[in-house]
Structure 1
């Protein structure tokens, strides 16, 4: 290995480990009061606590946003790897959204639809009648048709209909969350009995709205699918009523065992306060999309991107320097990050626990933008070199809190403009961090390189119009990521991708200040991705040699790059 331009010997590491894990220079034999370990620790700590002058800071307006004009793309097009489920010619000629015609398919490359003639179920027989296979859509149509004809329907009516075409789950599924939710909502807010029939009618429009098979976004294949917002609402209505075949089990032998769940069985059962707030958000979305005056008419694109091994960055020789950084402890990715590429702190199973009890960043994002949930229908589990980018999803709700404190805060009116593909100018990238069972497990270069590659996969530009990135404490919290390490990894991936970052620390003022100062130092010193990668190698070695005490990364960088500087 080539000689590095910073120290990497045992004395350096021993020095780093002194002082409760804070990085210090190697001790001299007879330290003066000014240069003693304690004095050095105080000095470097004071320097990191100082702030970068306003004149040296990046503001949000300095970052590249999605084009503010409508002229973003040419005419709507499709290809072998870019499926479009509306009639492209009609859209380009008249601007209307009409379902694209297509033959029904029943194979491993497409979503198997509930209305397919190939979808059968065994209908239980009576006392004098044997059980017999019937087309499943006939049973679904009968049950949901009866529900749709009601002026008001109860949660028990919904349960009864669903179980008629899912009889094998009679003793496994519970609808207590939905039933209790409808009962406890104040009468002035309880529009749900009138909503359920409208949702049933929407679900039954599936053969009219989705005439072309929905392709699966499979592992290892870069591809996209574009649907109308009405098509998405119809697919999600079917998910609510649990109509999708072969999607009710996650066993290792199941056909779709590499795909997230899509039928809403987990959300509708096992009551909790979290489920109550989730149902508020989901049912508000259906309330909007079942009204002619309020339903949205536009397109949404879901794109699976894969980075080949040959296109990955050689982090140990990358000469790129740090790009622009805006960092704040106030604001959020979805609000202040509007117009940027917004990072979804994803699970490799897209959507995570949105249909269960999960309520961290990804689940909240999917609840506020319920159209994202449909990605679970066709997106296979993400590999380490893959991400999912969604362009055009709409925010329907507002919220407050996080986890157990999460609350649906009411409707949200999305005022974003649309591009020439009728997509709202919102772009979200789902990248999944590693879930470390023990915090110390992340301090090795195999894990660091994996996270660098995953972040780069999400940040890599495909064309010059793509905006800079809005992100934050990716992979921290429940995934046990070190916020300083994850921030540094994202800085490096953004630099390699040639993109700036807006980093929101979610009220973590210490991280805001430390990151701003560290980034300023890296820029001032002209530090490359390569040099920072070598520093992370030393940092991981220091962590592993620490005997369990924590080494602070920002202090490590400070003492490694500029230990003699009294101020920035």
Structure 2
């Protein structure tokens, strides 16, 4: 398994942290803590809604009004960003926090519903194939080598971890070498395989004004050791083919991630096809801490900033995050060849980003089927950047099995801790980010992210067949499908169009169709591609004007794929193909 095959998308440069906070949010009371929830539970009412950014919509309309377009006039403007349904506009009152056989909650639901406090749920240790095998489990053991007159034999691994991390936690300052020495004491079999050169070089080259890490490492060790106190109930695995969810507090997530940093999770250090967790992404941070690169430097700045925030009593977050594996059964899939739904609202712009200007919408993670892609390796494009800015997403790798073609992962409530600029080799951590979002009645920040993995085409021409088109339609529909009428519209972009070799026009059309079938509007960010912006706006306008159904567009895609196959090495432009299908008078649009 390779974690570095994440989709390469051009993420626009964001020069400053200020860009993350639209002007409409400036000066607002950002009540980013559980006191808001307690107020709601005590009858103070719903928190004021967080208005969607209006300036990008205005930009989109201005661009439409001034550019050259259909019939010698302006291209169709589509809708404004503020015209789409946003999370805060849904007045989402979910009632009491609940759990079920398939929806696990790791905090005490009764205490939360009554008092708004986040108290760990009591439970028993589970050492089975249905739950995460925890480092503090009595069943987690290691063999201690013989010394002196004492015979070698198994010991509880947590005892060794506690001894090493306890010594680290008691230090007033710890070095990268101290971290390495501690980790290798309870991972001795990897002594000649693991390198910590990225961490060692990182702490040496970081500017002195930013180098708070010697004092941070002991705090992180202390946080990791709180695992038995913070996570008392087993963490269920979100397994392939099973729709289920797990809700954790942000403190619990920080504790789990601290253990991942110190590589404490058992049975998670091999990708062999016979390994117990071979169907799951890696979670221990050994690959991030080794094999130095400039990319690793910026990744570590983001990750360690997160730990800097969560280990401070005054800034540690107080809320919940829900991770939900959704599956679409065959009986619930759309019959694309007979779907009568018509195109829904579309906002399209070459400016802005999904995570910033798509605030309050369902934000699409251009995922790898191995959730998080190369975030702990060398990958550094859309998905990895998203996970670095929202490090709580990384914990999903602990319990989320590789996604199947009919599955997605929905995450509600993750917090953004950092700003950034660039992408790939130009990526840079750009400082702290103050998340302006309110929380819902389950103490979750009003951010919803859906991870859907596009198909990876080794050759670009491989995608022009209806088997692949149908697969992508079903995957997008799985991510866009509504569970209730109050769910927000979708923010997306050039899904699968980087290293995965997707055709941007085809992927945009597929997402239009999936959104129509899911009866959701779409905000589409082209990441600086003005030609795609204009072409998509014109094509969508034509489809709406002609009353084209998903069924008819599906038939057009069948014809388009046949035309691509017949064209040999030459490329057929999809948007032009669609326009000419409506006659010569439309071909110039």
Same-fold call, TM cutoff 0.5: yes
User: In the alignment, what sits opposite 2:356?
Assistant: 335
| Structure 1 residue 228 corresponds to structure 2 residue 249 | yes
Q: CA deviation at 1:131?
A: 2.4
Listed as ranges, the matches of 1:82-121 within 5 Å are 82-121=103-142
Question: Which residue does the alignment assign to 2:396?
Answer: 375
1:486 to 502, 507, 513: 507
State the match for 1:445 in structure 2.
Answer: 466
Unpaired runs of 5+ residues, structure 1, are 1-45
Once residues 222 and 378 of structure 1 are traced to their aligned partners in structure 2, the CA distance between those partners, rounded to angstroms, is: 13
Cα distance in 1 between the residues matched to 2:583 and 2:167: 74
Q: How far is the alpha carbon of 1:68 from its aligned partner?
A: 4.3
Contact 1:199–1:290 (8 Å) recurs in 2? yes
Structure 2: 5+ residue stretches without partners: 1-66
Asked if structure 1 preserves the Cα contact closer than 8 Å seen for 2:414 and 2:445, the reply is yes
Contact 1:70 1:417 in 2 (8 A): no
- Give how far 1:477 is off: 0.8
Q: 2:185 aligns with which of 159, 164, 171?
A: 164
Does the alignment pair 1:427 with 2:448? yes
Number of the residue aligned with 1:555: 576
Within 5 Å, give how 1:380-529 maps onto structure 2: 380-529=401-550
Deviations 1:121-169 (A, max 9, x none): 1122225544211000000000000000000000000000000000000
Aligned residue number for residue 542 of structure 1: 563
Q: Is the 8 A contact 1:49 1:513 kept in 2?
A: no
In structure 2, distance between residues paired with 1:55 and 1:449 = 29
Q: Give the secondary-structure state (helix, strand or coil) at the position aligned to 1:390.
A: strand
Q: Deviations over 1:429-468 (max 9, x none)?
A: 0000001000000000000000000000000000111100
2:125 and 2:72 map into 1 onto residues whose CA distance is 61
Distance 1:172 1:229, change over 3 A: same
Query: Is contact 2:370–2:401 with CA below 8 Å preserved after alignment?
Result: yes
Superposed CA offset, 1:451-494 (max 9, x none)? 00000000000011110000000000111000000000000000
Answer yes or no: is the 8 Å Cα contact 1:49–1:514 preserved in 2: no
* Aligned mates of 1:64, 1:274 — CA distance in 2: 37
Bigger Cα Rg? 1
Q: Within 5 Å, which residues of 2 pair with 1:39-188?
A: 53=74, 56-68=77-89, 71-126=92-147, 128-188=149-209
**Contact (CA 8 Å) 1:158, 1:196: kept in 2 or not?**
yes
- 2:76–2:541: 8 Å Cα contact kept in structure 1? no
**Distance between the aligned counterparts of 2:155 and 2:584, measured in 1?**
76
> What CA RMSD, in Å, does the superposition of the two structures yield over aligned residues?
1.5
Q: Residue by residue, what CA displacement relative to the aligned partner does 1:302-324 show, whole Å, maximum 9, x if unpaired? A: 00000000000000000100000
What is the rounded CA distance, in whole Å, between the counterparts of 1:435 and 1:537 in structure 2?
20
Q: Distance in 1 between matches of 2:586 and 2:443?
A: 53
Asked whether the 8 Å contact 1:389–1:427 carries over to 2, the reply is yes
Aligned residues: 523
Q: Secondary structure at the match of 2:136?
A: coil
The two structures have a TM-score, normalised by structure 2, of 0.87
How far the C-alpha of 1:50 sits from its partner, in A, is 7.6
Q: Deviations over 1:201-233 (max 9, x none)?
A: 000000000000000000000000000000000
Q: 2:264 is matched with which residue?
A: 243
1:260 corresponds, among 272, 276, 281, to 281
